[in-house]
Structure 1
Amino acid sequence: MSETPEDPLALEQQVCFALSVAARGVVALYRPLLEPMGLTHPQYLVMLALWQHAPLSVRRLSELLQLDPGTLSPLLKRLEAIGYLHRERNRADERSLAITLTERGRALRAEAEKIPPAVVERLGMPIDELRRVHEALTRVIAATSA
């Protein structure tokens, strides 16, 4: 009796499906952790980049987050409106916007430091396994960016 080959279009076999469902699920874990800070997940990613690299130009921030400036602009406006950052023209290049953190934005980092361990706890996976998942996803990102 011969085995039937796997269906190449089986939903549960698709990498894109697994990535999509996993991304939605992980982002949903962040939501209740970010709400007290007044942040959405995309805004949190902006803040992570700024905590690590501020000040940044919009262009550089766009590159780091792999978001087009049109998508980034509303996120920056909202973060400025709630007092976490300033957007100002770069004195050296008037065409460039410089993004800097406010005192309130810098202070938020201490609260945000609680988020990664809380996410790890909610996922219930060993940190080594999560690091391997991160490494694999980083390779997927590199492969799709080439």
Structure 2
Amino acid sequence: MTDPIEDPLALEQQVCFALSVAARSVVAVYRPLLEPMGLTHPQYLVMLALWQHAPLSGRDLSRLLQLDPGTLSPLLKRLEAAGYVRRERDAADERSLAVSLTAAGQALRAQAERIPPAIVQRLG
């Protein structure tokens, strides 16, 4: 077996592996704060974008979050089922999807405002 320090392909030498572990660790810190709100971390990111910019077209939301439409669509469907967002065809362009917040989605923002300081506290 090759010494990990000398092996350029050693797992522990990979930046992508370190970033992947760090990302999972940070998302795990968010989980207990998001669960009472009924949100996953990807859904939280969608809500953050909508709280800041709603209403948005599906295309703009996809670009803003750097998610492909195939990944974004199920997130929006679950948020709609939870009563937080509304998806409607744009009256000006039937091909375009308009995403807006419902009253419940807007109200959820008050709970979410507690998350950033709690994350800073937990991460030190």
Task: State TM-score, norm by structure 1.
Answer: 0.79
Which residue matches 1:56?
56
Deviating beyond 4 angstroms after TM superposition, the runs of 4 or more aligned structure 1 residues are none
Gaps of at least 5 residues in structure 1 are 125-146
Q: SS in structure 1 opposite 2:118? A: helix
Q: Pairwise CA RMSD of aligned residues?
A: 1.1
Measured in 2, the distance between the counterparts of 1:70 and 1:10 equals 33
Measured in 2, the distance between the counterparts of 1:78 and 1:34 equals 15
Bigger RCO of structures 1 and 2 (CA < 8 A, at least 6 apart): 2
Number of residue pairs aligned between Structure 1 and Structure 2? 120
Q: Deviations over 1:41-84 (max 9, x none)?
A: 11000000000110000011000111111111111011011110
Q: Deviations over 1:4-53 (max 9, x none)?
A: x7432232221101100001100011110000000001100000000011
Task: State TM-score, norm by structure 2.
Answer: 0.92
In terms of mean alpha carbon deviation, does 97-106 or 7-16 score higher?
7-16
Measured in 2, the distance between the counterparts of 1:36 and 1:13 equals 37
Which residue matches 1:47?
47
Gaps of at least 5 residues in structure 2 are none
Deviation at 1:94, TM superposition (A): 0.6
